[in-house]
Chain A
């Protein structure tokens, strides 16, 4: 990689910090960890992205927003490629992103993968309430307002909240 392409990649990364997830507007596509690679070809710039969930309806909007944002910064030839493997995991979410989620009122994913197994009626994960920081919370529903979230309620401050579930 030459010095100029390295600069370009860094520049594009900085621009992509402006592209937000339409469903969770405090998270950028970089925070989410869905940008897997940025490749500078001779005549075009290729952005490799991966979906959070197979059916995530926000992906088409996200692709379009990436294209529009880069166009507005003078990148004329943009190719967006979607890859499925390796499969996205919440481990790829940035620490900064997790902090932003919490401030927004959504509990960030726990660092350890505790959801992806088939054991039944397991104890709910200890999820911290994003409002009052209590761990005294319970799960209302395994599925929430979007594919990536579950619904919880705090037993101390009584507020219901979304949890960005481990995946």
Chain B
């Protein structure tokens, strides 16, 4: 217990922003990292049409991330008092001038990213990519369906814009879960393996971080615990159709929302941020 407290205190994640900014960054990081992961399939998809499908989904997700980052940057800039020493990044990089969507994506360190662990895991095989997309789209569909009623009009607008896209992703990924789960011996085995790997990261989706709880109170966010049952129903429905076993209760790994990530995030950030770190402020 004491040890836990100590870890929390020595954590290098500073409260750089208020809960509103943290909440929007969390929404942005989720879709940016998943978009990057899916984009790794570009040129490697199992067939051309599905290569195009998964990269189209990436494009939608990265577009959503841009909308959230732009809004977060706007709020952080408004929040900063001109002339104050408050810096947008704790390690000194990216400091200076206005915070922009690019700085938020390319110049924050691993501990500042607030995405769920599920989205940063390696893409694995096609079954793992499909199952992760399905888990996440089902969650996103429920989340955005609620966020369209957010008291924050810009969050509501981004959710409204994104929901149509997410609906398409959910349908596509559901069909693929059924196709693979109810397919050949090999595809079924791969889906079983994917469930084994991913299930322990699904609990975090519904475990609120402090900034999420505050956002609910504020009317900007939505109560995740209310989405959980609906999500489970959806997964059960699709798994039943796919002849896949619905997992028993088991240990759930948390931490990503508060900056405590798996080792995989560092690698994806290193690759994604390389150009901007080596050639600061480069544009094309």
Is A117 close to B, CB under 8 A?
Answer: yes
Q: Which of A19-27, A50-58, A128-136 contacts B (4 or more CB under 8 A)?
A: A50-58
A131: shortest Cβ distance to chain B, in Å? Answer: 21
Nearest residue, chain A, Cβ from B56: A143
A86 within 8 A of B: yes
CA distance A51 to B62 in the complex (A): 14
The answer to whether B53 and A85 touch across the interface, beta carbons within 8 angstroms, is: no
Q: How far is the CA of A163 from the CA of B139 in the complex (A)?
A: 29
Knowing A118-B174, A141-B53, A147-B60, the reply to whether A54 touches B168 (Cβ < 8 A) is: no
Contact, CB under 8 Å: A118 / B49 = no
**If the complex has contacts A87-B160, A151-B49, are A117 and B167 also in contact, measured as CB distance less than 8 A?**
yes
> Does A116 interact with chain B (Cβ within 8 Å)?
yes
Contact of A142 among B67, B157, B172, B174 (CB under 8 A): B172
A96 close to B (CB within 8 Å): no
Task: Please report whether the interface of chain B is mostly helix, strand, loop or mixed according to DSSP.
Answer: helix
Kindly provide the distance from the CB of B39 to the nearest chain A CB, expressed in whole angstroms: 11
B162 lies within 8 A of chain A by Cβ: yes
Question: Residue on A with the closest CB to B70?
Answer: A82
Given the complex, which residues of A lie within 8 Å of B161, measured CB to CB? 51, 54, 84-85, 87-88
For chain A residues 74-114, which have a beta carbon within 8 Å of chain B?
Answer: 83-88
B170 at the A interface (CB under 8 A): yes
Q: Give residues of chain B (152-178) contacting chain A, Cβ–Cβ below 8 Å.
A: 153-154, 156-158, 160-165, 167-168, 170-172, 174-175, 178
Give the shortest distance, in Å, between A110 (CB) and chain B (any CB).
15
Q: B141 an interface residue at 8 Å Cβ cutoff?
A: yes
With beta carbons under 8 angstroms apart, the residue of A83, A116, A143 that contacts B164 is A116
Provide 10 A-B residue pairs closer than 8 Å at the C-beta atoms, listed in order of the A residue: A54-B165, A55-B62, A56-B63, A84-B67, A84-B160, A87-B160, A116-B167, A120-B171, A141-B50, A141-B52
How many residue pairs link A and B with beta carbons under 8 A? The number is 83
A interface secondary structure, majority: loop
Residues of B within 8 A of A (CB): 49-50, 52-53, 56-64, 66-67, 141, 153-154, 156-158, 160-165, 167-168, 170-172, 174-175, 178, 241
Complex Cα spacing A14 to B48, Å: 41
Decide if A54 touches B157 in the complex (CB within 8 Å): no
Which residue of A57, A88, A115, A120 contacts B59 across the interface (Cβ within 8 Å)?
A57
The CA of A121 and the CA of B182, in the complex, are separated in Å by 14
Contacting residue for A85 out of B50, B141, B157, B172, CB 8 A: B157
Interface residues of A (CB under 8 A from B): 51, 53-57, 83-88, 115-121, 140-145, 147, 151, 167
Residue of B60, B156, B170 near A54 (CB, 8 A) is B60
CA distance A142 to B168 in the complex (A): 9
Q: For residue A51, which residues in chain B have a CB less than 8 angstroms away from its CB?
A: 63, 161
State A130–B174 Cα separation when bound (angstroms): 30
* Nearest chain A residue, comparing its CB with the CB of B178: A120
B158 lies within 8 A of A53 (CB) = no
Q: Is the CB of A121 within 8 A of B175?
A: yes
- Closest 8 pairs (CB-CB, A-B): A55-B63, A54-B63, A85-B157, A141-B49, A55-B59, A143-B53, A84-B157, A143-B56
Kindly report which residue of chain B lies nearest to residue A166, judged by CB atoms: B164
CA distance A159 to B137 in the complex (A): 33
**B60–A53 touching, CB < 8 Å:** yes
Q: Please, how many angstroms separate the alpha-carbon atoms of A142 and B49 in the complex?
A: 8
Assess whether A86 is in contact with B160, with CB atoms less than 8 Å apart. Answer: yes
In the complex, what residues of B have CB within 8 A of residue A147's CB? 56, 59-60
